[in-house]
Amino acid sequence: MPPMKRIVMKFGGTSVASPAHIRDVAAIVKTVWATGVDVAVVVSAMGHETDRLDDLAQTMGTKSGSPEYDAILAVGEQVTAPCLALALQEIDVPARSWCGWQLPIMTTSRFGTARVESIEGQGLIDDFHARRTVAIVTGFQGIDAQHRITTLGRGGSDLSAVLLAAAIQADRCDIYTDVDGVYTSDPRIVRQAVRLKTIGFEEMLELAALGANVLQARSVNAARNHRVPLRVRSTFKPDDEGTIVSGILTQTASSDEDPPMELRKVTGIAHERNQAKITCRNIKDAPGMAARVFGPLSEGGIIVDMIVQTASVDGETTDITFTIPRKDAEETVDILKRNDIPESHIIVDRNVAKISIVGAGMTTSAGVAATIFEVLAERSINVEVISTSEIKVSVLISEDYGELALRALHHALIENGA
Amino acid sequence: MPPMKRIVMKFGGTSVASPAHIRDVAAIVKTVWATGVDVAVVVSAMGHETDRLDDLAQTMGTKSGSPEYDAILAVGEQVTAPCLALALQEIDVPARSWCGWQLPIMTTSRFGTARVESIEGQGLIDDFHARRTVAIVTGFQGIDAQHRITTLGRGGSDLSAVLLAAAIQADRCDIYTDVDGVYTSDPRIVRQAVRLKTIGFEEMLELAALGANVLQARSVNAARNHRVPLRVRSTFKPDDEGTIVSGILTQTASSDEDPPMELRKVTGIAHERNQAKITCRNIKDAPGMAARVFGPLSEGGIIVDMIVQTASVDGETTDITFTIPRKDAEETVDILKRNDIPESHIIVDRNVAKISIVGAGMTTSAGVAATIFEVLAERSINVEVISTSEIKVSVLISEDYGELALRALHHALIENGA
């Protein structure tokens, strides 16, 4: 890689949880700054401060979506940023804090889940040129055209960092967090999981969407769209290389010295518990029936994932099966009932887990799918639903076998280098 | 008084200390708003939130005067304002919060003690006209020409309220606090102290400067300059009339039914403990010697109050006595020593109290001074220093007799209606 000239560093809530943590972050920033690169830092609120503010706002009797709610939620970062600026000044690094409105970061007026429309980075760049001043920017927030404070929703600080990196043409955006990178699977479940040295944007997107907790899909998507390489690394092990998310090939950390010329077939395996399976039985097999099921759900904001339709023996009715977030199960049933699907025809199964195998190197999903069926069959695990995309195969199984399946598939597809 | 059209209501930290307190404040605001007046509310940070932020900023290693310090300190009000807006919306009163930067409130760049240069009130007025929206404005803060957040120093929220009232041509500024008005003396010491129904700006200024804790001199001065009548009243007894501070005559609350045509001679008596008396003995009685004492003290930021110079018997040397804030005693001695006044010639007396009698109706201070000497002499209390201004007589006495003197003077000058 060519030498870096400018970098955005983002620190989450656990990284800035206390004054001592903030001083540690200042030391990390100084190390990077001392190498001669321009540094902009994006910070989250300290520890659980946003949750506290959220509780306070709820107590005052509001639902999210109100500008007043966003104004309350946004102050957490407005404390962290000047605290970090002070900590840097204490160790002789020129630094200044910026609120979203000071840059400004302009957003839509969709309070609570605003979309960033533009970021003006010239103030930061002028400061870089004048005195190599480190810019500390409040994550998670901006202002709308009426100059009211908006927030970007959960994980918004990562997004702020990525978009700021794009705005100031940074060479990279480093996301410092409490994990040390992206793993082939959840190391708490799969002991053999290894850290990836690099991963492609698309694969990271799939893993993020599957709840891999490291990065949110929204931020990865923004990074891909703006061609901003990300590095996920640990605040608590700052010398550790972490995982680079970019447009280049996926590698595991262990392949450091001898990078493989060939792409790995499978990059990661994710495991999602918070799913429910809904089956609507004996739906009349006529045009428009599927729309009658999924149209109202979409309008109700229910995200439907895997869908399978099976023709019945008589050819006149059909069963439709799909998955939804578990928390939406009751509402889903309500919506279906309101749309003339009798309750007796609706079956809800909360005891399911989704296992997803992600890899840009799966030239066709068929080979991987075959291995999946084989591995699961050997252990008598029934595949209830399967869905495939170009770089992903997902299977829905009984939750009872979730962890067993995850380990078995990791062994077959990653440890054995399938 | 003519009917009011527009009012500013200011609530301090104890009035908004919790969500429940904020709901109580919302109810008070609604009562006023329901009478048909336009309402702007200025709020402080909740409870001791500013102290907490101050501690945090200090922990990060800064002295006040830094823009980062102000950015941290200012967030307290930025939470209260939207919380109150939400509480008002909950009880069907249209309301919106405004940060200092949103109006904007423009200030100098003297961080920590910024001076307000202008307040743009048109946004609030437009809202009044459109939907009778209550405006909730963050006290204590503004922005400078570089759009950095500034704070106005202790008591800054009162000042924000007064200046906002001037900016939007409000008929009055009501300061809601944890006391129910201005008293003729400290009720904790003088049981017979009565609440004043009205008090003049100048007298209030003197009492405020003497630490009468209700209002800060800075806010009273601003109210006088902009001709904004103030009302000091209790958040916890909102039906209570409180005390009006204005350009009109001083009255006690008890004189309600039959307002006296004649002005009271003495409005209030204040008692200040945090003083020290410095005597410099055997100073050469030559031109420029006083400057040698007071010049360096002024440069050192020491506020010198009462000054007495007594010629010595030999006519060649003189004793200079003056009072200073007790906390500055050591620094004062250091400064004097550095300016060639030998330590042996400096006498520090920390055991002093200042009693001040304030009243615009004292046509000359001589009569009051005579009564003071008489009352104190009867009790064998020695007057160490006396100083007079047009509406004030102050005496310095031994602190041991402070409360006794206060009660005796209150009895002679106020209860007996001198």
Chain B residue nearest residue A26, CA to CA: B60
The alpha-carbon gap from B20 to the nearest alpha carbon of chain A, in Å, equals: 9
SS3 B160: helix
Which of B414, B376, B378, B380 shows the shortest CA–CA distance to B394?
A: B376
CB A104 within 8 A of CB A142: yes
Give Cβ neighbours of residue A326 (< 8 Å, ≥ 6 apart): A273, A274, A275, A276, A350
Confidence at residue B102, expressed as pLDDT on a 0 to 100 scale: 97
Given a cut of 80, whether residue B413 has pLDDT beyond it is yes
Residues of B with CB below 8 A from A81's CB? 71
| Contact present, B134 and B40 (Cβ < 8 Å) | yes
Burial code of B66-100, b = ≥16 C-beta within 10 A, e = fewer? bbbbbbbbbbbbbbbbbbbbbbbbeeebebbbbbb
* Radius of gyration (C-alpha) of chain B in whole angstroms: 24
> Residue B72: closest CA among chain A residues belongs to which residue?
A79
Cα→Cα distances B165→A13, B41, B105, B198, Å? 40, 10, 13, 19
CA of A281, closest CA in chain B: separation in Å?
Answer: 45
Chain-chain contact of B68 with A148 (C-beta, under 8 angstroms): no
Best of B50, B63, B72 to substitute, by most chain A Cβ atoms within 10 angstroms, is B72
A/B interface, count of CB pairs below 8 Å: 97
Q: What is the pLDDT of residue B260?
A: 46
Kindly identify which residue of chain A lies nearest to residue B21, measuring between CA atoms. A60
To the nearest 10°, the Cα dihedral for A375, A381, A382, A383? -50
Q: Taking CB atoms and an 8 Å limit, are A83 and B53 in contact across chains?
A: no
Mean pLDDT (whole number) for B356-368: 76
Question: What's the pLDDT at B288?
Answer: 74
Q: Do A102 and B72 touch (CB under 8 A)?
A: no
Torsion of CA B357, B363, B364, B367, to 10 degrees: -70
Binary contact (B81, A71; C-beta < 8 A): yes
3-class secondary-structure state, position A54: helix
Contact B354, B272 (CB under 8 A): yes
- The vertex-A302 CA angle with A296 and A308, nearest 5°, equals 80
pLDDT digits (tens, 9 = 90+) for B66-124: 999 999 999 999 999 999 999 999 999 999 999 999 999 999 999 999 999 999 999 99
Closest to A231 (Cα-Cα) out of A195, A261, A259:
A195
Average pLDDT, chain B: 89
Contacts of B56 in chain A (CB under 8 A): 19, 79, 83
pTM, two decimal places: 0.83
pLDDT of B285 > 80? The answer is no
Query: Degrees (nearest 5) of the Cα angle B99, A163, A212?
Result: 110
Closest in B66, B82, B89 to A71, CB measured: B82
Residue A78 near residue B75, CB atoms below 8 Å: yes
What does the DSSP assignment read for B332-379? HHHHHHHTT--GGGEEEEEEEEEEEEE-TT-SSHHHHHHHHHHHHHHT
Residue B79 to residue A101, Cβ atoms within 8 A: no
Structure-token match 């840059």, residue found: A103
Cα–Cα distance for residue pair A112/B245, rounded to 1 Å: 44
Residues from chain B contacting residue A149 (CB–CB below 8 Å): 99
For A76-91, b/e burial (b = at least 16 CB within 10 A) is bbbbbbbbbbbbbbee
Cβ(B186)–Cβ(B406) below 8 Å: yes
CB-nearest to B71 from A68, A72, A78 is A78
Please state whether the peptide bond connecting residue B19 to the residue before it is cis, i.e. omega within 30 degrees of 0: no
For B146, name the nearest residue in chain A, comparing CA atoms only: A102
Q: Flag if B72 and A57 touch (Cβ within 8 Å).
A: no
What pLDDT sits at residue A400? 93
The span from the first CA to the last CA of chain A, in angstroms, equals: 29
Question: For the segment B9-58, what is each residue's pLDDT rounded down to a tens digit?
Answer: 999 999 999 999 999 999 999 999 999 999 999 999 999 999 999 999 99
Number of Cβ atoms within 10 Å of the Cβ of B260: 12
Nearest-CB residue to B72 (from A71, A83, A149):
A83
Residues of A in contact with B25 (CB under 8 A): none
- DSSP for B70-132 reads HHHHTHHHHHHHHHHHHHHHHTT--EEEE-TTTTTEEE-S-TTS--EEEE--HHHHHHHHHH-
At residue A30, what is the residue type?
Answer: K
Do B41 and B11 contact (CB within 8 A), yes or no?
yes
Distance CA B204, CA B207 (A): 5
CA A88 remoteness from chain centre: 30
Burial (CB count within 10 angstroms: exposed 0-12, middle 13-18, buried 19+), residue A34: exposed
Specify the pLDDT at position A366: 66
pLDDT of residue A1: 56
| Token output for A142 | 């901006």
Instruction: Point out the residue among A67, A90, A102 whose CB comes nearest to the CB of B61.
Output: A90
Chain B residues within an 8 Å CB radius of A83: 56-57, 60, 68, 72
Instruction: Tell me what pLDDT residue B10 has.
Output: 98
Q: Please identify every stretch of chain A with a pLDDT value under 70, giving residue numbers as ranges.
A: 1-2, 62-64, 211-213, 249-264, 312-313, 363-366, 417-418
Residues of A in contact with B61 (CB under 8 A): 86-87, 89-90
Q: Suggest the residue from A64, A69, A72, A99 to mutate for an interface test with chain B (most B CBs closer than 10 A).
A: A72
Contact list in A for residue B101 (CB cut-off 8 A) is 101
What letter represents residue A45's amino acid? A
Share of chain B above pLDDT 90, in %: 62
Largest CA distance in chain A: 79
Q: Do B83 and A22 touch (CB under 8 A)?
A: no
Average pLDDT over residues B271-282: 90
Structure tokens at A265: 């077939």
Distance CA B11, CA A417 (A): 67
Smallest Cβ–Cβ distance between B83 and the set A60, A79, A148 belongs to A60
Give exposure, A325-347, as e/b (b: 16+ Cβ within 10 Å): ebebbeebbebbeeeebeeeeee
**Which residues in chain B touch residue A41, judged by CB atoms under 8 angstroms apart?**
none
pLDDT tens per residue across span A294-318: 889 988 888 888 888 777 667 788 8
Per the model's pLDDT, the better-predicted residue between A136 and B275 turns out to be A136
What is the model's pLDDT at position B418?
Answer: 45
Alpha-carbon gap, residue B100 to B107, rounded angstroms: 10
Q: What are φ and ψ of residue B140, in 5° steps?
A: 80, -5
DSSP string, B27-87: HHHHHHHTTT-EEEEEE--STTHHHHHHHHHHHTT--TT-HHHHHHHTHHHHHHHHHHHHH
With beta carbons under 8 A apart, name residues in chain B contacting A148: 102
Higher pLDDT, B226 or A418: B226
What is the spatial distance between Cα A268 and Cα A187, in angstroms, rounded to a whole number?
A: 11
Instruction: List the beta bridge partners of residue B42.
Output: B10, B137
Contact B86 A69 (CB under 8 A): yes
Residue B290 near residue B320 (C-beta atoms within 8 A): yes
Contact at CB, B87 and A19, closer than 8 angstroms: no
Sign of CA dihedral B371, B372, B375, B376: negative
- Cβ contacts (< 8 Å) between B96 and chain A: which residues? 67-68
The tokens of A384 are what?
């209830």
